[in-house]
Every structure is written in C-alpha cells, then in structure tokens.
Amino acid sequence: MSPEYAVHGRFSVKSDVFSFGVLVLEIVSGKKNSGFSGEDQHLNLLGHAWTLYKEERSLELVDPYLCDSANPNEVVRIIHVGLLCVQQCPDDRPSMASVVGMLGNEVALPQANQPGFYTERDVLVNKSTTGCSSNIVTITQLEAR
C-alpha cells in the first residue's frame, strides 16, 4: 500500500506503481515485505533493499534460487527499477509506461530516492531491574470414568 494512501487516503495511478515496485522486490528477493527479517533486523524489505542499493550491493538481495540462472546486470537493473517505483513522493515515481520502457531498454536510469515506508523498527531491549518472571502453565487431561 502506498504511503499517500495509507496516511492520507489518496489513491492514484502512482499508488499502483508503488505496489508494483514492492512486488518486484518481493519476487527478486523471494521474501515478503511484511514480516521481513534479514541481517538488518531493524529494517523491512524496502529498507533492506535501499540500504544494499546505496552501498552498491544490490545483488545480495537476490533469492539464492535465482542466482545461478539470472543475469546479474539485469537483476541489478530490475532492483533499481523496483526502488524507483517505491519512492516516497508519488511525483518521483515513474509511470507504468516508463517502467515498461526501463525494463525493456538499456536507457540510463535516474538515481532512486529513499523509498516510502522505509522503516527502521526499534529494537526493544528488555532491561528489567526486578529480574525475570516465570510463567506457570498447567495442562489438564480429561479421563473417562
């Protein structure tokens, strides 16, 4: 779901572009955006893809099952296009016609900006001063008379 729809209830054709970008990144990585957990435990899939892209390590996002059969240059391009689709600002996202052109041609791609819903989850550290608690669980077994 695009940020503008989730936050303001505004839907446009650029909302569909955002969803397409999420799907592209999910397919390439073999992971779902929701519930993603990777080496960067505090990032969602979009944040993880963005971090790898900025560090020029986008190939690390690729599902291991695709690595042997995929052309690395094409995969990096697909990830780049996916990141262009999930940019925070709808005006920065390409149209779907442009996306098709980017995927089918070797035209130069613009630099991607930070994606929408680039979330860094707070890592909660439990620092209890009272020690730990134990939960007591009982199991009742029914027996016939």
Confidence (pLDDT) at 61:
92
128 in a structural domain:
no
74 in a structural domain:
yes
123 in a structural domain:
no
140 in a structural domain:
no
What DSSP state is assigned to residue 86? Answer: T
Please state the domain count of the chain. 1
Q: Are 126 and 96 spatial neighbours (Cβ–Cβ below 8 Å)? A: no
Backbone phi, then psi, for 3, in 5-degree steps? -60, -40
Cα separation of 43 and 98, whole Å? 28
pLDDT digits (tens, 9 = 90+) for 51-105: 999 999 999 999 988 877 888 899 999 999 999 999 988 889 999 999 999 998 8
The CATH number covering residue 67 comes to: 1.10.510.10
Confidence (pLDDT) at 129:
40
145 in a structural domain:
no
15 in a structural domain:
yes
112 in a structural domain:
no
pTM, to two decimals: 0.74
Cα separation of 116 and 89, whole Å? 7
Q: In terms of C-beta density within 10 A (0-12 exposed, 13-18 middle, 19 or more buried), how is residue 68 classed?
A: exposed
Domain that holds residue 31: 3-104
134 in a structural domain:
no
